[in-house]
Amino acid sequence: MKTLDCRDAGFDCEGKLRAETEEEILRQAGEHARTEHNTEVTPELAEQIKMLIKDEED
Ligand SMILES: [Zn+2]
Protein backbone atom coordinates (compact mmCIF):
# COMPACT_ATOMS: atom_id res chain seq x y z
CA MET A 1 0.00 0.00 0.00
CA LYS A 2 1.31 3.44 -0.96
CA THR A 3 0.44 6.46 1.14
CA LEU A 4 0.94 10.18 0.89
CA ASP A 5 0.43 12.71 3.66
CA CYS A 6 -0.83 15.90 2.12
CA ARG A 7 1.03 18.04 4.66
CA ASP A 8 4.32 16.52 3.47
CA ALA A 9 3.61 18.20 0.15
CA GLY A 10 3.51 21.56 1.89
CA PHE A 11 -0.20 21.94 2.56
CA ASP A 12 -1.68 22.60 5.99
CA CYS A 13 -3.93 19.59 5.63
CA GLU A 14 -4.70 16.37 7.48
CA GLY A 15 -5.49 14.60 4.24
CA LYS A 16 -3.89 11.22 3.64
CA LEU A 17 -4.07 9.43 0.32
CA ARG A 18 -3.82 5.66 0.00
CA ALA A 19 -3.56 3.59 -3.13
CA GLU A 20 -2.02 0.43 -4.49
CA THR A 21 0.20 2.19 -6.99
CA GLU A 22 2.18 5.40 -7.38
CA GLU A 23 0.11 6.26 -10.46
CA GLU A 24 -3.10 6.01 -8.46
CA ILE A 25 -1.67 8.19 -5.69
CA LEU A 26 -0.84 10.83 -8.28
CA ARG A 27 -4.33 10.58 -9.74
CA GLN A 28 -5.87 10.99 -6.29
CA ALA A 29 -3.49 13.84 -5.51
CA GLY A 30 -4.67 15.65 -8.63
CA GLU A 31 -8.27 15.27 -7.53
CA HIS A 32 -7.49 16.18 -3.92
CA ALA A 33 -5.56 19.27 -4.95
CA ARG A 34 -8.47 20.43 -7.09
CA THR A 35 -11.28 19.74 -4.65
CA GLU A 36 -9.56 20.55 -1.34
CA HIS A 37 -6.96 23.13 -2.26
CA ASN A 38 -8.31 24.66 -5.44
CA THR A 39 -4.98 24.11 -7.15
CA GLU A 40 -3.43 21.87 -9.77
CA VAL A 41 -0.67 19.32 -9.46
CA THR A 42 2.01 20.72 -11.72
CA PRO A 43 4.64 18.43 -13.25
CA GLU A 44 7.10 19.84 -10.68
CA LEU A 45 4.74 19.06 -7.80
CA ALA A 46 4.10 15.60 -9.21
CA GLU A 47 7.85 14.88 -9.13
CA GLN A 48 7.97 16.09 -5.53
CA ILE A 49 4.97 13.96 -4.62
CA LYS A 50 6.62 10.85 -6.06
CA MET A 51 9.46 11.29 -3.58
CA LEU A 52 7.03 11.76 -0.69
CA ILE A 53 5.08 8.57 -1.29
CA LYS A 54 5.63 6.06 1.48
CA ASP A 55 5.20 2.30 1.54
CA GLU A 56 2.94 1.05 4.28
CA GLU A 57 2.15 -2.45 5.42
CA ASP A 58 -1.34 -3.58 4.51
ZN1 LIG B 1 -4.75 18.28 1.31
- Tell me the average pLDDT across 29-55: 96
Q: Is the dihedral of CA 53, 49, 4, 32 positive or negative?
A: negative
pLDDT of amino acid 57:
85
Tens of pLDDT, residues 3-33: 999 999 999 999 999 999 999 999 999 999 9
pLDDT of amino acid 9:
93
17 Cα to the center of ligand 1, angstroms: 9
Is the pTM higher than 0.85? The answer reads yes
58 Cα to the center of ligand 1, angstroms: 22
Q: Is the pLDDT of residue 58 over 80?
A: no
- Contact of 29 with 44, CB cutoff 8 Å: no
Read off the DSSP letter of residue 27: H
48 Cα to the center of ligand 1, angstroms: 15
